[in-house]
Amino acid sequence: MINNKKKVVLFANGDFPQPEKIQSQISGQDVLIAVDGGLKYITGSNLTPDLIIGDLDSADPKDIEKFQKRGVEIRKFPVEKNETDLELALLASLETQPDEVWVVGALGKRIDQTLGNIFLIASPKFASLDLKLIDGVQEIFMIRSSRTIKGKTGDRVSLLPLNGPVTGINTHGLYYPLENETLAPHQTRGISNKMTQSEANITIREGLLLCIHETFDFNEGDQE
């Protein structure tokens, strides 16, 4: 069983354009989970996973064998299953009771997988997590009540409502401010806003708001 630590980093098998930005933020206290073929990012960074999980149809068998000999836990599932490998990995991450979960390599390549991964982090099962999809260029997360984003002036921030309209949206620190307003799924008003300072604050009254923050600083604020 993987140990209780503060941060869990899941390595999926999608695109990972700037791994050095994530690697510099990984410490020996973090739990590292290889999600099937995402194992290649861990081995390429000379890191050791705490857990390898999935149906293992895309991970290098030699890497699996190497880590198995080192005592790394491996959870293998059948190819025919109801969950994706990433969903299984996210469920496993809950065992650590983490403060935050980063999912890297979850974007790009297949659009069905990318959309599925974005919808996955909207699940109520993960509502208690400070959960982000990140790749060194952008971070994607859900806003359920409030969020403070730290970055720099000019960073792009897009806000997209999920599961229906999001009401009572207020923003501070964005070029196009929202004041007690509503965004609906059939509208594109929330796309391509920009930060006017190093910090932006977003609050909502009701709904589920997807935030995409591009070119960011990892020292982001907490979600309430």
pLDDT at position 3: 58
List the domain range (segments joined by +) for residue 197: 143-214
Same domain, yes or no: 16 and 53: yes
Same domain, yes or no: 87 and 127: yes
Closest residue by Cα to residue 146 from 220, 194, 204: 204
Closest residue by Cα to residue 113 from 63, 157, 54, 158: 54
Same domain, yes or no: 39 and 102: yes
Domain's final residue, options 136, 164, 194: 136
Strands 100-104 and 131-134: parallel
CA–CA separation, 224 and 213 (whole Å): 18
pLDDT at position 224: 41
Q: Per-residue pLDDT tens for 149-160?
A: 999 999 999 999
CATH code, domain carrying 152: 2.60.120.320
CA–CA separation, 2 and 198 (whole Å): 36
pLDDT at position 2: 59
pLDDT at position 223: 42
For the record, the structure tokens of 177 come out as 């401010």
pLDDT at position 14: 85
Q: What stretches in the chain show pLDDT beneath 50?
A: 219-224
DSSP symbol at 223: B
* pTM score: 0.88
Helices (H), the chain: 19-23, 39-44, 61-69, 85-93, 111-120
Buried/exposed 73-106: b ≥16 CB within 10 Å, e otherwise = ebeeeeeeeeebbbbbbbebbeebebebbbbbbb
pLDDT at position 110: 84
For the record, the structure tokens of 182 come out as 């509503």
CA–CA separation, 184 and 182 (whole Å): 7
How far the first Cα of the chain sits from its last, in Å, is: 29
Domain's final residue, options 88, 121, 136: 136
Domain total in the chain: 2
What letter represents residue 56's amino acid? L
CA–CA separation, 125 and 90 (whole Å): 10
Same domain, yes or no: 168 and 126: no
Domain's final residue, options 94, 117, 136: 136
CATH code, domain carrying 91: 3.40.50.10240
Contact 165, 190 (CB under 8 A): no
Q: Per-residue pLDDT tens for 189-221?
A: 999 999 999 999 999 999 999 999 997 555 444
Any bridge partners for residue 142, and if so which?
210
